[in-house]
Amino acid sequence: MKAQSRSSSIPTKRSKRPPENAKGSEVWTVRRAVAELMRHGDRRNVEGMARFGIRAKKICGVSKPQLDEIARRIGKNHDLGRELWETGIHDARLLGMLISDSYQVTSLQMDRWVRDFANWDVCDGTCCHLFVDATPAWTKAFEWTRRRNEFEKRAGFALAAFLAIHDKEASDAPFRRFLKSIEREAWDDRNFVRKAVNWALRNIGKRNAKLNLQAIATAERIRRKKTPAGRWIASDALRELRSEAVQRRLSRKES
């Protein structure tokens, strides 16, 4: 997925042939896509999403399976994805990132979109389905951990959490470096930040046995600082990273 940068410890992507757009007779426009979203919207879904902290000024309430089905029908269409994002509609942004092409995502686009993250659903979904395979993914993960906005900062840690799972070719170096970012920001007790910091710490520590030991050491240092957020982040991470299930799985990987 990525090769090591010659100028830093941040990996960069190997060039790959981008996926072809889905072929078919249907012509999709922003107007048609939004109309489709409105047709499938459900007020009960909007209320249910709000209970889980997903709120937006403009939202239709389309279910995830329905979004996936509409995205499948449209196929990859990066230009349409960007147009859907610009509508500001929550569901349209989710659909936009699903049909966008990671290989066409630029650093500028990532910085523009991250400023629009207003809830964890759009933040995590975009990082998972689109940004994780973009060329600037590692660079942005490090940069965004220093942001002040809650969801922009969350995006940095969420992106690292996804990279720990999906970036099979990365060396341990960027993950070791990212542990320093985790330790630096573990004081932030805003709910969506501390959860993402914890998430990144746990995923890095489950990548292999060496990173497991380093993540555990990082968690111990965080705990000794005795900040409220740090105590929760460290205790929760240590419980999983030292668990029999994780240790057994890492041992099997090493054998």
Q: pTM for the complete prediction?
A: 0.89
CA–CA gap between residue 212 and residue 228 (Å, rounded):
23
Mention every residue, 6+ apart, whose C-beta is less than 8 A from residue 152. Answer: 114, 115, 117, 144
Can you tell me the distance from the alpha carbon of 87 to that of 148, in angstroms, rounded to the nearest whole number?
25
Token pair for 152: 């922009």
Q: Dump pLDDT digits (tens) for 5-16.
A: 333 334 444 444
202-244 per-position pLDDT tens digit: 999 999 999 999 999 999 999 999 999 999 999 999 999 999 9
For residue range 182-193, what is the model confidence (pLDDT) as tens digits?
999 999 999 999
Contact 1, 14 (CB under 8 A): yes
Q: Strand 2-4 vs strand 11-13: parallel, antiparallel, or unpaired? A: antiparallel
Q: What mean pLDDT is predicted for residues 113-137?
A: 97
Please report, rounded to a whole number, the percentage of residues in the chain having pLDDT higher than 90: 88
Q: Where are the domains of the chain?
A: 23-100, 119-255
